[in-house]
Amino acid sequence: MRYTVGMRAATIADGRILIADRPDPIPGPGQLLVRVGAAGLNGADMMQLRGLYPPPPGVPADIPGLELAGEVVALGSGATRYRPGDRVMSLVGGGAQAELAVVDESAAMPVPAALDWPAAGGFPEIFTTAHDALVSQCGLQSGERLLVTGAAGGVGTAAVQIGIALGAGVVASVRHPALRPAVAELGAQVMDPLEAAGRGPYDVILELVGGPSFEANLPALAQGGRLAVIGVGGGPRVELDLLALMGRRARVMGSTLRSRSPEEKALATRRIETDLLPLVEAGRLRVIVGEVFALEGAPDAYARFASGGKLGKIVLIPCALATGA
């Protein structure tokens, strides 16, 4: 009798999301095969759906998903850090929104006991993105003033918490009044975007909106200020006043995680393990999960993400895994 393999996976076809049967992936050298308990949605998934964000080589071209949490079910050759049954979470180049996925062992982290599956599946992308931008790129220091724009989303809620944990004074701009109380609970002063732009100067600005938000916030940068652009939902093309940049001796930087090499992702992962996982265990960082959808509900989840105005993460649940290590 032939042993049939196959899994259910979110699949991009003709610019739409559907659920399809796909061959099980096979872990290569140094990789883990993981049964996916949760996989977060991200802005990059929306861009990939529109054909604007092609996945890197070696990644399933039509199965989206940049992060996951799940149980290890098999090891590729040379993978030694984890055992079958271990709970791991990881950034991946793609392919996370499926019942099974392969993960580079070097990019995998153990799931802290404090995180349930939806929280773990929504942790890697937003916390790695926010930590990389605030710490590795902007060098945020204790006592500095931080502005996070569009702070009610996934990266925003992660950035507010990291800023507070590092000892920064955090102002968060949130357009929808209904979402402000939840962000204020994380420790930020929350206000509308126009008011936040007038409350400078800020040592660091994490720009998650782009467009007019960027233009309004640049003059609010302090001397030596750093502005990291992570999202451009408000528009990618902006006017930049170079004299304002020079007079403030300011830096504007852009970043994406997805284009990084496996080595860089492994390095970023180690930083998250050392800097943030202890704070997760201590209950000082948490993943704000706004809505959870079964894998078959992926089309609804994408529509919900695209409609905006959400709080925190939207997470898919491909497999119902037992809770606990």
Question: What tokens were used for 37?
Answer: 């308990």
Smallest distance, Å, CB 129 to a second copy? Answer: 11
The rounded distance, in Å, linking the Cα atoms of 78 and 29 is: 6
Site string for a second copy, 171-210 (x = CB under 8 A): ---------------------------------------x
Stretch that binds a second copy, among 65-73, 88-96, 101-109, 226-234 (CB under 8 A): 226-234
Task: Find out whether 288 and 38 touch, Cβ atoms under 8 Å.
Answer: no
Q: Kindly state whether residue 248 participates in binding a second copy, applying the rule CB under 8 A.
A: yes
Smallest distance, Å, CB 223 to a second copy? Answer: 7
Smallest distance, Å, CB 245 to a second copy? Answer: 3
The rounded distance, in Å, linking the Cα atoms of 175 and 140 is: 24
Among 107, 166, 232, 316, binds a second copy (CB under 8 A): 232
The rounded distance, in Å, linking the Cα atoms of 133 and 229 is: 8
Q: Kindly state whether residue 246 participates in binding a second copy, applying the rule CB under 8 A.
A: yes
Q: Kindly state whether residue 237 participates in binding a second copy, applying the rule CB under 8 A.
A: yes
Among 18, 113, 178, 240, binds a second copy (CB under 8 A): 240
Stretch that binds a second copy, among 97-105, 157-165, 248-256, 312-320 (CB under 8 A): 248-256
Q: Kindly state whether residue 56 participates in binding a second copy, applying the rule CB under 8 A.
A: no
Smallest distance, Å, CB 222 to a second copy? Answer: 12
Encoded amino acid at 148, one letter: V
The rounded distance, in Å, linking the Cα atoms of 87 and 229 is: 32
Q: Kindly state whether residue 51 participates in binding a second copy, applying the rule CB under 8 A.
A: no
How many CB atoms are closer than 10 A to CB 104? 22
Stretch that binds a second copy, among 31-39, 63-71, 81-89, 238-246 (CB under 8 A): 238-246
Closest CA to 90 of 33, 25, 159, 28: 33
Q: Kindly state whether residue 249 participates in binding a second copy, applying the rule CB under 8 A.
A: yes
Spatial neighbors of 229 by CB under 8 A, at least 6 apart, are: 207, 210, 214, 252, 253, 254, 255
Q: Kindly state whether residue 263 participates in binding a second copy, applying the rule CB under 8 A.
A: no
Asked if the bond preceding 60 is cis, omega within 30° of 0, the reply is no
Stretch that binds a second copy, among 80-88, 122-130, 234-242, 267-275 (CB under 8 A): 234-242
How many chain residues touch a second copy (CB under 8 A)? 29
Closest CA to 96 of 77, 124, 128: 124
The rounded distance, in Å, linking the Cα atoms of 81 and 68 is: 18
Spatial neighbors of 19 by CB under 8 A, at least 6 apart, are: 8, 9, 10, 11, 295, 296, 298, 299
Q: In the complex with a second copy, which residue's Cβ is closer, 100 or 206?
A: 206
Q: Kindly state whether residue 141 participates in binding a second copy, applying the rule CB under 8 A.
A: no
Separation in Å, CA 271 to CA 76, 103, 293: 24, 18, 30
Residue keyed to tokens 């936040």? 196
Among 250, 267, 294, 306, binds a second copy (CB under 8 A): 250
Q: In the complex with a second copy, which residue's Cβ is closer, 175 or 251?
A: 251
How many CB atoms are closer than 10 A to CB 25? 20
Q: In the complex with a second copy, which residue's Cβ is closer, 184 or 250?
A: 250
Q: Kindly state whether residue 247 participates in binding a second copy, applying the rule CB under 8 A.
A: yes
By CB under 8 A, name the binding residues for a second copy: 210, 214, 223, 229-230, 232, 236-256, 259-260
